[in-house]
Amino acid sequence: MEINKLTKMLMQVVSQNETERKKAMRDVRDTRDVLEIAELLISLYEQERLWASVADGYRLAALCAASVGNNWRAVKWAMRAVETGLIHDGPGDEEVGDVRRLLVNPREHWSWAVNV
């Protein structure tokens, strides 16, 4: 239940809909909280050994890090998202492609600094 709750919250934080994103960010005290929530989500996936789904957590963490302008964490989580996403979803998956673009050039990705 906690994974679902955190996923829903983070999906809103990195939504491409600006209104939805701003609404979600009002519930977060500051941008560091976004990173902590994303890392909590990954921790829960790993604790529950949900290896097939952890790519979703890595992808959300990468998008969250990019959304608050944290280049290092965006690349870190994007790399893991690509690795696990390729195994689970395959190279043709749309989300794998999106996170690959983030990995290659975080500052040019649509999510870069949208919550700063």
Show the beta-strand stretches assigned E in 1-116: none
State the pLDDT at residue 28: 77
Does any domain span residue 54? yes
pTM, two decimals, is 0.91
Give one DSSP letter per residue of 29-56, joined into a string: SSHHHHHHHHHHHHHHHHHTT-TTTHHH
Percent of the chain scoring above 70 in pLDDT: 98
Does any domain span residue 115? no
Contacts of 104 (CB under 8 A, 6+ apart): none
State the pLDDT at residue 50: 93
- Taking the C-alpha atoms of residue 10 and residue 77, their distance in angstroms, rounded to an integer, is 14
Does any domain span residue 61? yes
pLDDT in tens, 50-104: 988 999 999 999 999 999 999 999 999 999 999 999 998 999 999 999 999 999 9
Contacts of 75 (CB under 8 A, 6+ apart): 62, 103, 106
> What's the domain count of the chain?
1
